[in-house]
Amino acid sequence: MATASYLLLAQTGASGSTGNNSATLTANTNTILYQVPASTQTIVSTITVCNQASTAATFNIAVIKAGTTVATQNYVAYGTPIAGNDTIALTLGITLSNAGTGDTIVVYSSTSTLSFSAFGSQIA
């Protein structure tokens, strides 16, 4: 029988990261926010983006299938502006599966002052 866990799936920012295969955020670089672990399906209900600086920034969020790289069709947010000292919550309902290496959420920021958090459920 499958069991569901409701979690903070992953976080990334300039000071570090938590979650499955997540990486520390570097400005102007695609960074893995979350990758589905083995034998798991995931529903990402919400992604928050927090700008911890007083200057505006932009961000991208892409969802990619296992074994592929970021392409134009993968973006759920692209060049999205965020004001200084602001937070945006995106309620998306993204469904991800593990077929080999697992589907992945990749983020990109114009500055290292943003942090991203993914919240949802893992079903094993």
Q: Report CA 50 to chain centroid distance, whole Å.
A: 12
* Residue the block writes with tokens 């990758």: 35
Q: So where are the chain's domains?
A: 4-123
User: Rounded distance, CA 95 to CA 121, Å?
Assistant: 10
Span 29-78, pLDDT tens digits: 999 999 998 888 999 999 999 999 999 999 999 999 988 999 999 999 99
The better pLDDT of the pair 62, 97 is held by 62
Class in CATH terms, 4-123: mainly beta
Compute and round to an integer the Cα radius of gyration of the chain: 14
E strand map for the chain: 4-13, 16-19, 31-35, 41-51, 57-64, 75-82, 87-96, 104-109, 114-123
pTM value is 0.93
